Structure 1
Amino acid sequence: MLHHAGLGDDEVRRKIKSGKIRYGGNSKLKIYGTLKCKSGKRMKRENRVFFESESEAIAMGYRPCGHCLQGLYKKWKNGFVQQ
């Protein structure tokens, strides 16, 4: 997990292009989603974290976003836990 506040804009772009960043999350709400999600784009920089994979986000206790990952969110809400 990488904290956005500790990264420069150029470094974030490089990591996205290289595949080191594939998902974003909110550290206060413990939610992760795609980098194109409207909800994720509105969060404060100090709350934003990045993940290389979904399994990394889940292992750290984050849940899927209800907007950009609706299918996974419904499974999570119904008690299905993905590992």
Structure 2
Amino acid sequence: MKRYALLDAQGQPIRSAERGTVGGHRRSRLYGCLDCPAALRAIARGGYVAHRVFFKDEATARAAGYRPCAVCMARAYTEWKALAP
């Protein structure tokens, strides 16, 4: 059985039998869709991969302190921005 490296709600690494549904960037503390155009451009440039993390879902990413991507998750980003201090 394949195991996937994900982060939990505390931002700690875990091994999961299920693949994560959102990807994130550890340094910028943001998350988005696995096929996000902004993330794919960054990956193509080579500077993103070393800090890439994965989460089971959006709720887990938010609980770990990550914010939604403004490109691929515009609605969630707008809601997050309105609630940010």
- TM value normalised by structure 1: 0.70
Q: 1:56 aligns with which of 60, 64, 76?
A: 60
Higher strand share: 2
RMSD: 2.1
* Superposition pairs of residues 17-56 of structure 1, within 5 angstroms: 19-41=18-40, 42-43=42-43, 44-56=48-60
Give the Cα separation in 2 of the matches to 1:2 and 1:51. Answer: 5
**Could you tell me which amino acid in structure 2 is paired with residue 22 of structure 1?**
T
Contiguous gaps of at least 5 residues in structure 1:
4-14
- TM value normalised by structure 2: 0.69
Where do 4+ consecutive residues of structure 1 move more than 3 Å?
A: none
Higher helix share: 1
Give the Cα separation in 2 of the matches to 1:51 and 1:79. Answer: 22
After superposition, what is the alpha-carbon deviation per residue over 1:24-49, rounded to whole angstroms, capped at 9, x for unaligned?
Answer: 00000000000010122214211100
**Could you tell me which amino acid in structure 2 is paired with residue 29 of structure 1?**
S
